Amino acid sequence: MPTHDENPVDRPRDAAEATTVSPVSPASRGYGPVFAVREFRAVFLAHLLSLLGVVVSELALTVLVYGLTGSPLLSALTFALGLLPYLVGGTLFAGVADRYPARRVLVVCDLICAGCVTVMVLPGTPVGGLLALRCVIAAVSPVFTGTRMAALTDILGEGDLYVLGRSLLRIVSQSALLAGFGLGGVLLAVLSPRGAITVTAVTFLCSAALLRFGTRDRPARSGGDGGGALLRESLSGARTVLADRRIRGLMLLFWLPPMFVVAPEALAAPYADEIGVGPVALGLLMCAMPVGQIAAELYVGTALTPRRRSLIVLPVAAAGLLPLVAYGFRPGMAVTVLALALAGAGSAYVIGLDQWLVAAVPEALRGRAMTLLTAGLMTLQGVGMALAGLAAEFLPVHQVVAAAGATGTLCLLPLVLEVRRTAPTGRIRTEVRDGADQHMTSG
């Protein structure tokens, strides 16, 4: 670890990893230095492959279940089962992320997913089995994601490279949602649903190979106290993490905005019907928010210094949901798409928030904290979708979305004040010393 007099940016966690990171000038900006790290390139490509596999398999499985049953409810349930088990897996199995070496956990998770989708393609697998296998994949996902997030601090250090690496993975996630459904549609046009699912098994296996041979084998963060204590260790870690006032506030700042911002996406089809627009307009409504998020994250990651990214966290988090209030006036498509893009851009506050969380969580708990973060994020998004749908049963869709923006903002204001109050040394801290930051150019 660097001493207090050293700049933590672009530094590996220990001397043994020094050969992993290419020399980077203090003046370097943007995402280029992250790709100079060989291990990150493997993680990045594995992330892309596994994400495409998940998105394509979800779409193909939905079509397969509907073809077997003719039931819209069971078809929709395949999507719901992609969110609901996150809470179970992220809470009960979080200890895995710290108890075992990260590379082993990541590879095993990919192999489990590959095995599940392989069983899905067997002609004799019943619908109940398909849904159960979908649950297994969803339960494994938070463990995989949390372990990878914690492992990035080993690969990239705990400074700005980690922040930019996390940002790149988020950008890939949003892009994969846009490209994955398109790819899934193409595959389903030329293959059967089971054939498309078979392709996803290959993506999981390729991801496992990249992680196994492209990353170093590092020891576990915590040895645990026996195999039978995994559940207790997971729950104890969750209690310890959430008992800390600072960490709890940061977690909630990750969780709450997505819970409210999903309302327009969950209600895109009913809203398009309410304002009388067709499929093309519906596609714009669905794409506007991810495009806004990707554009904003790229801008913040390349054009702002680490210190400035830190300074915008609380203001952007507090105001990020306000564009949704425009729905209350039932504006035209142009204004609606702009409001959605701005709401998506508001999520760029998490770039600075990533650094705060890493600084706040003890290293021995990092895997469990990141797994819990993932589980809470996905679970609350599912809750937000369900609540938006329930409210739309009784109120016009435009009012529901506007209310989500207003209510979310009111909930975030006291949380922002809480996070500010718990900041170390009474101020919002960055992990980059001011002197180092002044050398960074704006090119």
346: tokens are: 């508001």
User: What local confidence, expressed as pLDDT, does residue 425 receive?
Assistant: 67
User: What local confidence, expressed as pLDDT, does residue 152 receive?
Assistant: 87
In this predicted model, which residue has the larger pLDDT, 220 or 41? 41
CA distance 409 to 318: 6
CA distance 75 to 299: 38
CA distance 350 to 54: 24
Structure confidence by residue, pLDDT tens digits, 181-193: 666 667 777 778 8
% of the chain at pLDDT higher than 90: 26
CA distance 328 to 22: 51
Structure confidence by residue, pLDDT tens digits, 230-257: 677 777 777 888 888 999 999 999 999 9
CA distance 366 to 364: 6
How many whole angstroms from its chain centre is CA 46?
Answer: 15
Helix then strand then coil, % of the chain, to nearest 5: 80, 0, 20
Kindly list the distances between the CA atom of residue 121 and the CA atoms of 64, 126, 363, in Å, as whole numbers in the listed order: 10, 11, 40
Taking the chain, what is the end-to-end CA distance rounded to the nearest angstrom?
30
175: exposed, middle or buried (Cβ count in 10 Å: 0-12, 13-18, 19+): middle
CA distance 297 to 320: 14
CA distance 201 to 230: 29
333: exposed, middle or buried (Cβ count in 10 Å: 0-12, 13-18, 19+): middle
Angle in degrees, CA 418, 420, 422, rounded to 5: 70
If you average pLDDT over every residue of the chain, what do you get?
Answer: 79
CA distance 330 to 274: 10
